[in-house]
Chain A
Amino acid sequence: MNVIDLRGVTCPTNFVKAKLALELVETGEQVEFLLDDGEPVKNVPRSLKAEGHKLLGLKEVEGHYVLTLEKGAE
Chain B
Amino acid sequence: MSEQNKKTAIDLNNLKAGGFIKERGKDLFTVRLRVPGGRLPVERLKKIAEVAEKYGQGAVHLSVRQSVELININFKDFDAVVAELGEGDQRVASCGARIRVPTACGGCEYNPNGLVDTQASALEVDRTLFGTPTGHHKFKVGFAGCPFDCPKSAINDVGFQGAVLPELHAGDCIGCGLCAKTCSDGALVMGDDQMPHFNPEKCTWCGDCLKVCPTEAWQAAKRGYTVRIGGKWGRYPLVGTLFATFLPENQVEAFISEVLAWYVEKGTGRGRVRLGDLIIQEGPESLLARLRTKFPESVVDATIAPQIINTQVGTRRIPQ
Contact = CB atoms under 8 A, between A and B. Distances in A.
Contact of B181 (A41, A50, A56): A41
A47 interface: yes
B177 interface: yes
- Sorting the interface of chain B by its residue count into under 10, 10 to 19, 20 to 34 or 35 or more gives 10 to 19
Given A58-B181, A65-B181, A49 B214 contact: yes
A66 B75 CA distance: 65
Contacts of B112: 46-47, 50
Interface string A34-54: 000000011001110110001
- Sorting the interface of chain A by its residue count into under 10, 10 to 19, 20 to 34 or 35 or more gives 10 to 19
A55 interface: yes
A8 interface: no
A41 B180 CA distance: 11
Contacts of B181: 41-42, 58, 65
Given A47-B112, A56-B176, A42 B214 contact: no
B199 interface: no
Contact of B211 (A46, A58, A59, A65): A46
A10 B174 CA distance: 28
B214 A46 contact: no
What are the 9 A-B residue pairs with the smallest beta carbon separation, nearest first? Answer: A55-B214, A46-B212, A57-B176, A58-B178, A46-B211, A42-B182, A58-B176, A58-B177, A45-B212
Interface of A: 41-42, 45-47, 49-50, 54-59, 65
13 contacts: A41-B181, A42-B182, A45-B182, A46-B112, A47-B112, A49-B211, A50-B112, A54-B214, A55-B176, A55-B212, A57-B176, A58-B177, A58-B178
